[in-house]
Amino acid sequence: MRHGLGAASTSTFDHAQLDLQNQVEAVVQAGDTYYQAHVAGYELDYTDAVLAYQAAGQAGATNVGPEIDASGAPTVTKPLTQQAWTLNGQLAQVPRSGAASPSQGFPSAYFTKADADKAKAIVTQMVTLYNQAISKGSASIGQSTAPVLPPTPTPIPSTPSALPMVALGVTAAAVATVVITRTGHKRGWARA
């Protein structure tokens, strides 16, 4: 949102920062969770981690980068967001270096740990560039942004089989709350 002749509102870069955290960094954390589960399980296929990193990069390139540039200082931010855009192209092109081996349970090529490491490095560079663009853009128009808080670490499950439980933790807590709340109701609710 702009007021007057191109001056950005006081929340435009804050909104871009929030979107960066929610649309990109949160998805990177999901990729990290997959990655750690594969490491813990001594697995060879890191496809889900790489796909999460690629999704995070795509969200940055198509949503967050343009939002940053539209926040009021495109001459300052575009050189950085364009670098991130270029990196996203590289991220999308990370090849699957694991060879198909149907007899070993790999019917098609897959992403290896080395591929996941490369994808993680690229998406991390992208996040750094977006943070720099937000910081430099807001400073150039005299706008302060909320401090960038480090992401909350994703708990690492002790075994790969615990991964679905991590993903369902919030849902299970919400369901348990509803069940507990409803079981105490006097009108026709059964006791658990």
Per-block average pLDDT, block size 10, for the chain (192 residues)? 40 90 98 97 96 98 96 94 98 97 93 98 98 94 62 48 40 35 38 42
150 plus 188 within the same structural domain: no
pTM of the complete model: 0.71
114 plus 191 within the same structural domain: no
161 plus 113 within the same structural domain: no
H or E element in which residue 103 lies? none
The domain tally of the chain equals: 2
Q: Tell me the DSSP string of 142-176.
A: T---PPPPPPPPPPPPSSGGGHHHHHHHHHHHHHH
56 plus 80 within the same structural domain: yes
85 plus 174 within the same structural domain: no
58 plus 125 within the same structural domain: yes
67 plus 103 within the same structural domain: yes
Q: Where are the alpha helices (DSSP H) in the chain?
A: 12-19, 26-40, 47-59, 65-69, 74-92, 113-140, 163-183
pLDDT for res 34: 97
**Which residues span the domain enclosing 168?**
157-192
103 plus 191 within the same structural domain: no
